Amino acid sequence: MGTYMAKPADIQRNWYVLDATGKPLGRLATEAARILRGKHKPIFTPHMDTGDFVIIINAKDIVLTGNKLSQKKYYRHSGYPGGLKTMDYKDFLATKPTLLVEKAVKGMLPHNTLGRSTASKLKVYAGSEHPHQAQKPEDWQF
């Protein structure tokens, strides 16, 4: 018996909604990355994008445990000398909650072309409204 390899015709993509209200950032990100990769499906194939679409709502209500809000920092660099910018996660969560969640999920995906194509199926919204009702997304409980 050989190893099963998914074919593009076998892949069926569903849409799932994850509610971030009161959930720790890391727990939410690992679950979203698992769905995006397709690891919850029996047809999972490591070198193919077999995952589903993920909509994360209420990103502004995410929780960071411990002292991460005040001690953890977000860094970005412009590429020029002296261009390092830092921001506490408290301010980062207040100003750009969607980027905070996107960075956490993308960090758990492969860092290659497969990961970039997988990350394009992630949709993050700060509030509870999203424009994807036509896709009939299902609630994902974790």
Give the pLDDT of residue 72.
95
pLDDT of residue 2: 84
Q: Degrees (nearest 5) of the Cα angle 50, 56, 59?
A: 145
Q: Is 137 a member of any domain?
A: no
CB 20 within 8 A of CB 98: no
CATH number, domain of 109, equals: 3.90.1180.10
- Whether the CB-CB separation of 57 and 128 falls below 8 Å is answered with yes
pLDDT in tens, 82-114: 999 999 999 999 999 999 999 999 999 999 999
Residue 70 lies in a domain: no
The string of pLDDT tens digits covering residues 10-57 is 999 999 999 999 999 999 999 999 999 999 999 999 999 999 999 999
pLDDT at 37: 97
Q: How many domains does the chain have?
A: 1
